[in-house]
Amino acid sequence: MASLAAGCGGGHSIPAAPPAAPPAAAPLPAANDATPQAAVAGFMEGLSKGPSGACLYVTPQDLLDCGEAFTSTIGFSATDLGMGESTIRGTEALVSLTGRICTTISGKTTCATNTNRAAGQPTQNTSSAFAAAFAKGGPLGKRAIPCAEVDGLWYVDLPI
């Protein structure tokens, strides 16, 4: 069959279609507490303006710890942030972000770049896979951000 096709077209081959580009990350939603994604957007926006803004989007039980965590000199920058995938199970959620996130703590800067929209999401649709992903640590940007619903409002659930 290949020789027949080559004989009919003067030896020209049909180029393969270019591979499909991965779906682009969605822009961050408006900051609020109506969805896990909006709470994460508020937390990230708050970090860029100063720690007190970020703490507005953490769970009520983490509020004091959040304020104490930011008493040391902490710097934050993010570029090309986008909303990745999210998984909600009951009153807990995991939200993935894409982009580059850098934090500076006590003069040491650490950066993480993520292009995987599903980074940190559970690999299986089971309660145990979700629990493992929710509890997994790792640098901001390489893991999904855990969120919790409290009294109908969504917050970032800090691992502190």
Tell the residue number behind the tokens 């896990």, with chain if given. Answer: 36
pLDDT in tens, 113-123: 999 999 999 98
pLDDT in tens, 126-138: 999 999 888 876 5
Spatial CA neighbour of 35 closest among 71, 76, 86: 86
Is the predicted pLDDT of residue 18 greater than 60, yes or no?
A: no
Map tokens 């069959």 to a residue.
1
Which amino acid, one-letter code, is at 46? G
Question: In the 8-state DSSP scheme, what is residue 124?
Answer: S
Q: Which two tokens stand for residue 136?
A: 């997994």
